[in-house]
A and B are shown apart, each in its own frame.
Chain A
């Protein structure tokens, strides 16, 4: 079955750039989605199909996907960006699968 690997935690200084990775076998051949989840809230889609932002998501959020790694980049990080972030792909055998999640801390 297909698996996605994310770092447990990432820290970033206020105003700097955070990069959260999502590893998977030849993930570059798949569409990757990213969700933000704040404590006690439902997830919110922040990137779809590798690099597209839904309406209402700031331009500071961007995504890329190549080879065995997809990356969510958050520029000019703000305190309000502190959250758990999950990557997700669709695979023909496992269907919708989430990564384990990364806790982003803004210092």
Chain B
């Protein structure tokens, strides 16, 4: 059963960048979308965008355009989400999730989440 394993928790400062990784245990990394969804403490879900690991094509939520970059390295079956110019309200758990679809997250599966704390 495929698993997505994300990088560990990070503490970083305002204005800096953070890069979260998401590694697939399955050889067939391509052929699916990798969505990124975040959740601030006690708050709801917020979709950030997706990457198509096959083509490298991306689709970002308007809110994050210019601040987020999603990439992948197919040789090691890993997707990355980098968020720049961090603010305190970027403190959240960041999830990656595999999906056969770009318009929703069938979550087959989700990563375990990576807590990013932005604090001076």
Residues of A within 8 A of B (CB): 1, 31, 33, 35, 37, 42-45, 48, 54, 84, 86, 88, 90, 93-101
Cross-chain contact B106 with A54 (CB below 8 angstroms)? yes
B104 to A33, Cβ gap below 8 A? Answer: yes
Q: Does B46 contact A (CB under 8 A)?
A: yes
> How distant is B71 from chain A, measured CB to nearest CB, in Å?
19
B residues whose Cβ falls under 8 Å from a Cβ of A = 35, 37, 44-47, 49-50, 59, 61-62, 95, 97, 103-107, 109-113
**Inter-chain contact A98/B46, CB cutoff 8 Å:** yes
Determine the distance from Cα of A101 to Cα of B35 in the docked complex, in whole angstroms: 19
Whether the Cβ atoms of B111 and A42 lie closer than 8 Å is: yes
Cβ 8 A contact of B47, one of A31, A44, A97, A101: A97
Inter-chain residue pair count (beta carbon < 8 A): 65
Instruction: Sort A-B residue pairs by CB-CB distance and give the 9 closest, nearest first.
Output: A90-B103, A42-B110, A96-B47, A101-B44, A98-B45, A33-B104, A100-B44, A45-B107, A86-B45
Q: A1-B62, A90-B104, A96-B104 are in contact. List 11 more A-B contacts (CB 8 A).
A: A42-B95, A42-B107, A44-B107, A48-B106, A88-B45, A88-B105, A94-B62, A95-B49, A95-B59, A96-B35, A100-B44
A15 to chain B, nearest CB (A): 28
Q: Which interface residue of B49, B104, B110, B111 has the most chain A CB atoms within 10 A? A: B104
Cα A35 to Cα B59 with chains together (Å): 21
* CB proximity of A71 to chain B, nearest CB, Å: 18
Cα–Cα, bound, A48→B108 (Å): 13
A98 to B112, CA, bound (A): 20
Within the complex, what minimum Cβ distance (angstroms) separates A88 from chain B?
A: 6
Give the CA-CA distance A11 to B112 in the complex, in Å: 29
